[in-house]
Structure 1
C-alpha cells in the first residue's frame, strides 16, 4: 500500500524511473514507519499556537528560514491549490522551487517537495532526527506541525532552492510558518468561518489572524473576500505600508480554459486543469503573485505561467477518480466554504441525485457543511475516519436527517470499503457518487485505492 500511495506522486512515465524508484523504495521502506513513530512523540490533543518554541529551535539550527526567499500563502480555502500553481509556474520558469503544504493525504513526505517531487523518506527521517536532537532537555516539546515545518526549512536550504512557497497551517499570525523574514509576497486566498474556537467567531476576527502574515512594506495579494474581512486586510496593509493587490477572478472562456487580465491591461489565456469555478479565483491569485515577482526582477515569462498552470496537479480537491473501475468524485469539503464550492460544482453537472459518502472530524462545523451539501432525494452514507478524532457516524446521521428530512436514505456505517461497494450497487445507478468531508478521509480512500 505504501509503495503505490507514494508512487503516485512521482513521474513514472519512463520505465527506468520506475525501476529506480522501486530500488529506492525498498531501501527506504522502514523509514515510513520510523517517521510515524518519531512524530508520534510530538502529537498533542490540543492546538497551542505560539512562535517561541519554533524560534528557539530554529536559532539552535542556524536559522535556516533566513536563508530563503519565500512566498507565504494563507487563507481558509484555496491556499493549497494556489501553492501548487505557484510552484509549477516557478519550476517552468527554471527556478528550483520548494513547496511546503499541509495536511498530507497519505504520507508525511507529501508535505515537503522540491520541483514538485516529494522528499524521500530517508532524507525526511534524518532531518527530523536533527530537529529532535536540537530540543534541549528543559525545553517545551514542539508540536508535530512545528517539527515538520522546521524540517522543511532545513531541507530547502540543504537542496539550495531558489525560492520556496510556504502554506500556512492554521490562521497566520501565530502559525509556525510565520517565523520567516519578510516574504517576497504574502498571499491571502479566501476567508470564511473555520476553526472558530481558535481563530475567532467572526470573519473580522479570523481575517485579523490571517493578516498576521503581512509584513511591513512587503506586497500582499488578496483574493476575493467578504467585505468585512476585506476591510481588515486593507487596514493592516495600510498600517504596515504594504502594497495591496486586489485580485479579481479570471474569466472562463470555455470548460478548461480561462482568461486573466494582467495589471498592465494585457490578457493571458491559459488552460485550467483543476475542476471547480473557484479555480478561476485561485489561478488568478497565483498569477497576481507571479506578477509581483516579475516586477521584483524574477524572470518568469508568460509561457511559464501558461505551461505551469496547465501542468498543475493537486490531489483530493474536486478530483475525479475510480473505485473498482467505477467513477466517483473525491473532495475534502471540510468546512462550509469548501462544501459550498463542491455543491456549486455538482449543480453544474445536472446530476439526478447524489450518493454521498461522508466522514468528518469531531471538531468541524457539521451543521453548516450538511446544510451546504445535502438536497432532497440525495442518499447519504456516514463513515468514521480511521486513526483520527472522527465524528460519530450515528450522530452525524441524526443531524443530517434533521437538516435535510427529504433525504432518500441515510445510513451510518463502520468502515469505508464496504460503503464504497454499497454506494455503487445497482439501486444507486442514476446517482453521482461523491466521497468528501475530510482530507483525512480522502487520504484513507487513496491508500485503499492504491492497495
Structure 2
C-alpha cells in the first residue's frame, strides 16, 4: 500500500467503539513484544501546557547530544509532526513502513474482535520507530485523560509529569476537577516520581492521594517561587530556584510556569543524563509550539492560539495585556463538548468585532447556536461566515494596522486558519 492509502486507513479507524480502554492496544503491542517497555520515557499528561512542557524538555535533551523522541498530538501542519526525533518529523518512508507492519497485525486482531483506534495506531508506530531508532529517551504526551489513554501502556517512565488541570472533555473525563484529576493521575506509577503543576486544590489533592497510594514521590512548586522579570510580545524572562534569567520565546505569562515545571523535570533527569545549565537556558528559549499564542503577522498583529477550555481562555485573556493594540478583532469557533458558556463569558466581551465560523470536526458546535450564545454576552457586531478562508479574510479586512486579529477556540480550527493565513501571506 502507498503512504496516502495507509494514512487514510489509519485516520479512518476513528475513536474507540464502546468506551476508552487500553486492552485492545495491549494485544497489538504484545504482537511486537511490547516495544514501549524497551525505551526510556518521560510521560506527560494534563489539560493545558502539555505541548509546551514536552517541547521544553525534548529540546533540552536534544541539545544535550541525546537522541530524543517526541510523541505529541494533535498535529497542526503535518500528520508526521506527531512523531519526531530531534525535531525532525518521521519520514514518509518510515511512517509507511511501520503503518504497513501495524496494518497486517491489525487485520488479524479485527477478525478476533479487538478493534484498535487511530490514536492507538499512532502510538504503536511511535513506540516501534523510537525503539528501532535507538533513541536515548522519548517524551510521550498523553492524548486524552491518562488512565485509559493509549500511552498509558508505558510501565516505568523516568518521570511522570502532570501539567495544569482544568475542565475539558467533561463528557469523557468527568465534570469536576477531582474526577478529571483522577483520570490524569492514572499515569502515576508505583514508586515513580511525579512532577506536578500547582493546579487548584481539588485537583492537586486528588493527585497527591493517588501518588500516596502508589508510594510515588511528589515534586511541585508554588507560583511564589517564580520571579517574573519581563512579559511582552517577544519573550518572557524569569528566575526559578537555581535557574536565573531564563527566557522563553513562547509568549504569555503562563509559559513562565510551564517552563518552571519543565525545569524541575530537567533538573531531576540530570541523574540519568549529562545536561549543562547553559544548554538548558538556550533550549528553553529556542523551544517552539506552533499554534499556541503564535504571532503570524504584524500590521495588523495576527495571533493564533489553540486555547479551547476555560482555564486556557482565561490565560489568553490575561496575556492580551502584553500586546499593544487599538481594537480586538476576534475569529472564533469551538467544539460542542466544551464548557463554552464560561468560555464565551470571559472572552467575547473583550472583542470589538467578532467573526464566527465552523470547525471541521464532527463535534463542532452548530454555527447558528454559537451565534445565539455569543449575542447574549456582547452587543458588538457579529459576522457569521461558515467558510473558514472567507472568515479569516474578513477578520483581516475588519482590522486596521494598529489592531489585533486573534483566532482561538479550537486546535482543529487553528490548524486550518494557520494554513490559510500562511498561504495568504505568501500571496502578498
Q: Could you tell me the TM-score, scaled by structure 2's length? A: 0.92
- Larger mean Cα displacement after TM superposition, 353-362 or 83-92: 353-362
- Coordinate RMSD, CA, aligned: 2.0
- 1:199 paired with 2:173, answer yes
Cα offset, 1:223, TM superposition? 0.6
- 1:305 paired with 2:291, answer no
- 1:337 paired with 2:337, answer no
Cα offset, 1:388, TM superposition? 4.5
In structure 2, the partner of 1:58 is 29
Cα offset, 1:93, TM superposition? 1.0
In structure 1, the partner of 2:320 is 346
- Check whether the contact 1:34–1:125 (CA below 8 A) recurs between aligned residues: no
- Check whether the contact 1:339–1:369 (CA below 8 A) recurs between aligned residues: yes
Which consecutive residues of structure 2, in runs of 5 or more, have no partner in the other structure?
424-428
- 1:258 paired with 2:258, answer no
Describe the SS at the equivalent of 1:346: helix
- 1:317 paired with 2:289, answer no
Q: Could you tell me the TM-score, scaled by structure 1's length? A: 0.87
Which residue of 251, 255, 259 corresponds with 1:283? 259
In structure 1, the partner of 2:426 is none
Deviations 1:275-322 (A, max 9, x none): 11000110001010111111x332111012111112101100000003
Cα offset, 1:139, TM superposition? 3.2
In structure 1, the partner of 2:378 is 405
Describe the SS at the equivalent of 1:36: helix
Number of positions where the alignment pairs a residue of Structure 1 with one of Structure 2: 415
Describe the SS at the equivalent of 2:295: strand
Distance in 2, matches of 1:286 and 1:48, equals: 32
Distance in 2, matches of 1:389 and 1:201, equals: 18
Which consecutive residues of structure 1, in runs of 5 or more, have no partner in the other structure?
1-29
Which residue of 315, 327, 336 corresponds with 2:301? 327
In structure 1, the partner of 2:412 is 440
Which residue of 56, 75, 78 corresponds with 2:49? 78
Cα offset, 1:37, TM superposition? 1.4
Cα offset, 1:34, TM superposition? 2.7
- Larger mean Cα displacement after TM superposition, 337-346 or 253-262: 253-262
Identify if the C-alpha distance between structure 1 residues 47 and 146 changes in structure 2 by more than 3 Å, giving closer, same or farther.
farther
Which residue of 398, 402, 414 corresponds with 2:386? 414
Deviations 1:366-416 (A, max 9, x none): 2121122111662111111235432222211110111x133x211211212
Distance in 2, matches of 1:401 and 1:430, equals: 26
- 1:431 paired with 2:403, answer yes
Identify if the C-alpha distance between structure 1 residues 311 and 381 changes in structure 2 by more than 3 Å, giving closer, same or farther.
same
Distance in 2, matches of 1:399 and 1:417, equals: 23
- 1:210 paired with 2:184, answer yes
Which residue of 227, 230, 234 corresponds with 2:204? 230
Identify if the C-alpha distance between structure 1 residues 432 and 375 changes in structure 2 by more than 3 Å, giving closer, same or farther.
same
Cα offset, 1:47, TM superposition? 7.3
In structure 2, the partner of 1:142 is 116
Deviations 1:18-38 (A, max 9, x none): xxxxxxxxxxxx73x334312
- Check whether the contact 2:43–2:142 (CA below 8 A) recurs between aligned residues: yes
In structure 2, the partner of 1:182 is 156
